[in-house]
Structure 1
Amino acid sequence: MYKKILLAADGSDHARKSAEHAAYLATMETDSVVTVVYVVDAASSKHDVLAEGTSSTYLNELRHERIRPVEGILEEKGVSFDYKILKGEPGPELIRYANEEAYDVIVMGSRGLNALQEMVLGSVSHKVSHGAHCPVMIVK
């Protein structure tokens, strides 16, 4: 049913819950692959540089560490996955990538790490659900 699954991850509890659902969907097909996508927006990028320094290799490792628990869930369930870092505003960037790469489904949390931004600008999950060409599973 779903062979190409995009899992939006940001290190939040909702992302970990979403990983459980993405793993479940992936186990329904023998050759499904989950792509764990982390979007670096301007605010988090600026925070990372100020807090940790300027090495892009180090910053990418730091970002990857945030989603290791998600990868652990997928590994535990025996799910094939890969990892992708995107840069830009999370909602539009997830939509662009998912539509260009023709994903079968997007799995994401209802809330991320930045609740204040979600209240001011509208939730990322809401934007993605309206702009994606594929089904979007929003996990609470």
Structure 2
Amino acid sequence: MYNKILVAFDGSKVSIHALQHAAKLAKIANTKKMVILHVNDEPIDLQQPVYNVEIDQLIEEENHEILSTANGLLLEAGIPYETHILEGDPSRQITSYVKENPYDLIVMGSKEKGLIKGMFLGSVSRAVIHSVDCPVLIVK
């Protein structure tokens, strides 16, 4: 049923909860492949002087720290998985990735922004739901 599950993961509490839910679902469904996709959307401000700092190394360390929670949870659960890191706008990157690599299910958390902010700012989960052809499970 769900042989390939993609989990959008940013290290937040809601994304950890979404990952936990996806792990339970993967166990029940005997999922063959789970992919954790982290999109680094923080632009680096190079307006400030940078001395003796390896920017790529700092980004890599931050990504490793964010994904360490996911790695620990899935290793403990015994679920086969892989991680991928992309950069840019999360909704666009997730959508592009899914169009190039089809999945049976996308699992992601949703941060409640309230009606007014959600209407004007939109949200990653809303954009993904309207842009992909597979089911999307939103976990609060």
Q: Does 1:73 align with 2:73?
A: yes
* Conserved? CA contact 1:15–1:70, under 8 Å: no
**Aligned residue runs from structure 1 range 7-86, under 5 A:** 7-41=7-41, 44-46=42-44, 53-86=53-86
TM-score of the aligned structures, taking structure 1 as reference length:
0.83
Considering fraction of residues, name the structure with more helix: 1
Partner Cα distance (2:31, 2:134) in 1: 19
Task: Using the TM superposition, give the Cα deviation of residue 54 of structure 1 relative to its aligned residue in structure 2, in angstroms.
Answer: 3.9
Task: Using the TM superposition, give the Cα deviation of residue 85 of structure 1 relative to its aligned residue in structure 2, in angstroms.
Answer: 0.5
User: What 5-or-longer segments of structure 1 have no aligned partner?
Assistant: none
Q: Measured at CA, do residues 91 and 55 of structure 1 come closer, stay the same or move farther in structure 2, by a change above 3 Å?
A: same
2:123 corresponding residue in structure 1: 123
SS in structure 2 opposite 1:131? coil
CA RMSD between the two structures: 2.5
SS in structure 2 opposite 1:45? coil
SS in structure 2 opposite 1:102? coil
Q: Measured at CA, do residues 32 and 25 of structure 1 come closer, stay the same or move farther in structure 2, by a change above 3 Å?
A: farther
How far does the alpha carbon of each residue in 1:43-72 deviate from its partner, in whole angstroms, 9 at most, with x for none?
A: x1326xx7x944313312211211211222
TM-score of the aligned structures, taking structure 2 as reference length:
0.83
Task: Using the TM superposition, give the Cα deviation of residue 103 of structure 1 relative to its aligned residue in structure 2, in angstroms.
Answer: 0.9
Task: Using the TM superposition, give the Cα deviation of residue 92 of structure 1 relative to its aligned residue in structure 2, in angstroms.
Answer: 1.3
SS in structure 2 opposite 1:74? helix
Task: Using the TM superposition, give the Cα deviation of residue 27 of structure 1 relative to its aligned residue in structure 2, in angstroms.
Answer: 1.0
1:3 corresponding residue in structure 2: 3
2:87 corresponding residue in structure 1: 87
Q: Percent identity?
A: 37
SS in structure 1 opposite 2:43? helix
Q: How many residue pairs were aligned?
A: 133
How far does the alpha carbon of each residue in 1:17-45 deviate from its partner, in whole angstroms, 9 at most, with x for none?
A: 0111111121124352111111112xx13
